[in-house]
Structure 1
Amino acid sequence: MSVSDQMMKGLLDGAILGLISQGETYGYEILEKLKERDFPEISDGSIYPVLLRLSKKGYVQTELKKSDTGGPKRKYYTITDKGLEELAVFRNKWSYLNKGMNNLMRSVEDAK
């Protein structure tokens, strides 16, 4: 099922912050974790601009580290205190929106 770009843009920041809050990680690993959790339609190219934006806002910090596989260095991301605050705001907004949408969809189904 296709999800609009606008909807995805709003959710991706919160989803990525949520994953980074679980521990230090790097871009490709974030992509794999999103796919494992059935997060829709994520491409390699959509992750990195979000990570850059989160970094510029001070929500995550980065560190270049040697790759475990012997390849090039990887940029690892960890969440900052500011990022944890933003994640809490996102969770509250998501909970509020999700509750409203579920109530609305139930009422639509009940009307059938």
Structure 2
Amino acid sequence: MDSRAKNRRTYRFAPAFILLFLAEKSLYGSAILSEFRDRLPDYSVDSAVIYRSLQELEKEGSLKSSWNTETPGPATKWYEITDIGLQKLANYYGDIEKRKRNLDFFLSTYSQLPPR
């Protein structure tokens, strides 16, 4: 398997987590990265994946953004989930729920195998 295919598979659910975090509250890019690191310590993601996902989600209408220039320092781009994004989040929920059932089956069946 080439590394690009592996990365796509690894980061497949990054947009789902981004939408989940934004359903809770509006955030800017590096704050979203912090959410991943703080709340999902076993999920390895880098800033390039976050920003690429944000760009794609915004392009499809799942997010909207605005620039905050009122605070000192560089302007920050804040993201907010849209109705389209909430529907996409619900679709991810259904997909992840199905995958979880399959993984639970695997774990349960594996744990019942006789020792070798």
TM, length-normalised to structure 1:
0.89
| TM superposition shift of 1:109 | 1.6
SS class of match (2:20): helix
Which of 1 and 2 has greater Rg?
A: 2
The aligned residue for residue 47 of structure 1 is 50
The aligned residue for residue 57 of structure 1 is 60
SS class of match (1:10): coil
Aligned partners of 1:26 and 1:77 also within 8 Å: yes
Q: Distance in 2 between matches of 1:32 and 1:39?
A: 13
Spell out the pairing of 1:1-112 with structure 2 (5 A cutoff): 4-37=6-39, 38-66=41-69, 68=71, 70-112=72-114
| TM superposition shift of 1:9 | 2.3
Q: Which sits farther off after the overlay, 35-44 or 20-29? A: 35-44
Q: Structure 1: which 4+ aligned runs deviate by more than 3 Å?
A: none
Q: Distance in 2 between matches of 1:108 and 1:22?
A: 36
Aligned partners of 1:67 and 1:74 also within 8 Å: no
Q: Distance in 2 between matches of 1:31 and 1:67?
A: 22
Q: Identity of counterpart residues, as a percentage?
A: 22
Aligned partners of 2:11 and 2:49 also within 8 Å: no
RMSD value over aligned CA atoms? 1.3
**1:19–1:39 Cα change, 3 Å:** farther
| TM superposition shift of 1:6 | 2.7
Q: Distance in 2 between matches of 1:33 and 1:67?
A: 23
Q: Distance in 1 between matches of 2:67 and 2:10?
A: 28
Q: Distance in 1 between matches of 2:14 and 2:93?
A: 13
Counterpart amino acid of residue 44 in structure 1:
S
| Runs of 5+ unmatched residues, structure 1 | none
Q: Distance in 2 between matches of 1:51 and 1:39?
A: 21
Instruction: Tell me the matched-pair count.
Output: 108
